[in-house]
Structure 1
Amino acid sequence: MGSDAHTSRRVAINAQFVPGGFAGGVEQFTGALVRALGALPDGEERYVVVAVPGFEAHSGFAAGARVATVPGFVRRGRRFRAVELLPPGMFRALRAFAARLRGSREAGVADRPALPDGAFFDALGAGVVHFPFQSFFRTAAPSIFHPHDLQHLHFPQFFTGEELATRARVYPAACETARAVVVESRWVKDDVCRNFGIAEAKVLVIPIGAPASGTPAPGAAAASRGAPAGFVLYPAQTWPHKNHLALLEALRLLRDRDGISLPLVCTGRKNAYWPTIADHVRTLGLGDAVRFAGYVRPDKLAGLYRDALAVVLPSLCEGAGQPLLEAFAHGAPVACSGTTSLAEYAGDAALLFDPEKPAEIAAALRRLVIEPELRERLRSAGCARLGSFSWERSARTYRALYRELAGWPVTAEDRALLAAARR
């Protein structure tokens, strides 16, 4: 594998999650990263994305000269298409490894090894393997672990006992085993180093890039049809840490204390916590003011960003700031949590509040409603803030890390990018 990997400069990227919004920000991140890597105009690297069917369509990229997809081992009972990038015979070997790995999944959590066997990924002949979300496998090739955040340590009440046990077993072992750990903010880097005793030089901060802005796609405005005038937008799945309950309390305060009935539109898939949120809407009498639109495709979500009076992000824990940058890109003023990584991404371009204090959320929303000059200032500041986040720069930094770990030639630009990411 070694000589072939160094000759071909092949990078394996694990993207085995169900596409279509179920994985939330992880799906957005992985799709954006793959698109950015494939768009780099220079370099000899080739990227093999291990994914389930549908990843390309939902992630908005097309396989080409630089990027190809290979079916993962999470699907059963289907004949997967071969990928020209793979040498003859490798596909059969991958299926054999997949069968072994599927069998190991039948064991209980307590009986599983801390890190499962990554022979499937080694069979791809890659010089480095990137795990861009919380799933991690022990591989012979150098690997990169991407924990995104350590939410389970700060809000264990939002996880099941099995989830906590799995994370307690996998996260420290993955951080220790991987040749590099990548996070999207300095806040998460400090959290990882402090909790797992990982050397700072091993943990790189590579921010996410800003999404494209510009003219809305055809049909984007249709997403806003039926939305009330002057609505506030909150794009997030109904996970507990997204803090919908505190936001609803803030809307109640605005209505009862300030006489402001502020419409709210929420997007994102409704998951197991949704009934609790729906009950709270009814209890507070906010049924006429709150609309949950469910999953909205990215092209239509752009129309909601543009039509919203403002965007509110009351999340309790975030490893990056994808919706924040999306709001900036589409010209929406933002009020967001002043905790974890959101404040780091926002800079001075958003109103910050304590997400655990509904009164502070209400105060920020009230200002956005009654101060049009504030909204304009935040729009301008958000647009300027976007200049600090570039997917091309982030992709070049990832590529520099791939080269360093695989032992491929590293340029002066690569060294500068890696030095900045390790600061």
Structure 2
Amino acid sequence: MIASPDAFCQIGKRFPSERKVVKDPVTGTMLTFLTSKAHGDSKIYPTHPQWTADGKWVVFRSRLAQGEAMAVNEATGDIVQVSEGGYAGMLNLARKSMKLYFMRKADDGVQVVEVDLARVFADSKAGKMQPASSYQRVSVTLPASLEAGGDMALDADEEWVYFRVGKDEAARHLPEGTKIEPNFGPRNMGAGPNGIARANIRTGEVRHVVSVPFQIGHIQANLWNPGEIVFCWETGGKSPQRTWTVKADGSGLRPLYPEAPYEWVTHEAVISKDEVAMAIMGHRQIPGAAAAVNAPGTDVGGANPGQDTAWGDSGTREKPTGLAIVNLRTRQMTIAGQTPSGSGLWHVHGSSDGRWAVGDDFSRSVYLIDRNTREMRMLTTGHKTTAADHPHPTFNADGTKIEIQSAMLSEDGRSMNICIVPVPEDWLKRPVPKAAQDMKN
């Protein structure tokens, strides 16, 4: 059953395959575009899983079915709508089961909805779809007083979800006399308070986790270690202290990486049981110094952020910068790599076995790093700096491929598609370092 994009959007609706394999004109990497038409596709943010638990389907957002979640089969290119009635905020794929979770606004608050993806895919393929209620279940209804929303995250135990609560609810849990932070930076963002709460998707129980005096962004769960949360102080740019971590019971609140005023830390992502990748930006010229950061012809300004002087002097290469990886247990930080010129690495991720790291830069090029040898290799480029968003590279579960969003095929230079980039075969054949073997075990 093939439907046109203009048809009524129903769960299980199937759309024609758009799958194309394209050779990168610069690097020669064979890119698999799972979507290739101008529907305004975008991937799930790198803080969350991209593939279903069986590793066969990639879930994404698209105007192909406006306001609904979509899934594409990596092997066949089949596209299936996997929600009905809309969603709000982050899409959460379970890693242990074929389930999808998201928020949806309702008259009496905010619902947390569970989708049985296995049944959706099976019935869609058979052409025997049931009503949406057969596949979607309201797990929890959060009262309107919580002002719940934003970056919901599914815990590793798949029993709890974490979510942001509004200023009034957060203020109720702050110690008396707490200094509330004002906005920070030229985007006038970052003021608090904000908080994190959690809800049990089996019982409906709701508990407060923590309140902080600043604006919270990018809530993510450690997908290998239940009860561990990473989040950020969101300002739209440089933060006084970007990265934070806390336990599900509210204990252990601390900066994840205590940053210096000259450091511009951003785009943290939990990549394994003990590690978080993040970018320490090196995208700005050193005030008063010669223009040595950028390669000839490389422009890191324009549509890219952080060039205006209102952010201060942070983000230069006067101090170490690059793709940083922080150990949650030892608290040690290492820099896996950095581009020699240009903006430096920006959105970052890593394979859970500790072998690889990946990052994009302002040119929308994607670089792979061998964490054992520190070798860096550009996998793909030419994804158009005019694109509606950035590549946001994210590894699959076994560290053999990377999903990005790309405007390479876009006629208007903006509309993006879902693209899979393989880790090169010759790299996959390299001996697995003992440290990576230990992480796997």
Q: Same fold (TM over 0.5)?
A: no
Give the helix-richer structure, 1 or 2: 1
Bigger RCO (CA 8 Å, 6+ sep) = 1
| TM-score between both structures, scaled by the size of structure 2 | 0.29
